[in-house]
Amino acid sequence: MEIDNKRLVIGLSLIFVLGILFALVNGFYTSSTNEQLPLIVYGISFLSILIGAFIVIMFQLRISRMQLEKVLKILPREERIVVKILLDNKNMLEQNKLVVLSGFTKVQISRILKKLAEREVIEKRNMGNTNLVVLKI
């Protein structure tokens, strides 16, 4: 799963703002009670951030999986088979291995990959006698 740069910047900015807020709260608390915030407050806050990040990642994975299933449903059967094989092989595979795993002929795979490349679903990279097929979605 790739993390969008915009979301990463927003997340880091929010954590920075949270740190500033803790510094302000600690300043007000220190000036009124002459003591620092208890360490447990920082621990609970850190744990809350971790739990929140975990929840966000889980929802993102679920949303990504749902979107992928929708995309797979609209693809023709042959293209769907190729995309599923690529997903099962860490989103990249050599073209000659794709021929073996799919059961299609070299010509069929070449045509299927051409259609998928035109739709920018995959990217083909030259590797000498074969191509490396990389899933872009």
Q: Does residue 62 sit in the same domain as residue 82? A: no
How many structural domains are present in the chain? 2
Domain range enclosing 42: 5-74
Please give the average per-residue pLDDT across 98-102, as a whole number.
94
pLDDT at 64: 73
Identify the band that residue 137 occupies on the pLDDT scale cut at 50, 70 and 90: confident
pLDDT at 133: 94
Q: Does residue 103 sit in the same domain as residue 81? A: yes
Q: Does residue 10 sit in the same domain as residue 58? A: yes
For residue 33, pLDDT over 60 is answered with: yes
Helix axes 77-88, 39-74, angle to 10 degrees: 150
Q: Does residue 29 sit in the same domain as residue 68? A: yes
Q: Does residue 18 sit in the same domain as residue 46? A: yes
Q: Does residue 82 sit in the same domain as residue 128? A: yes
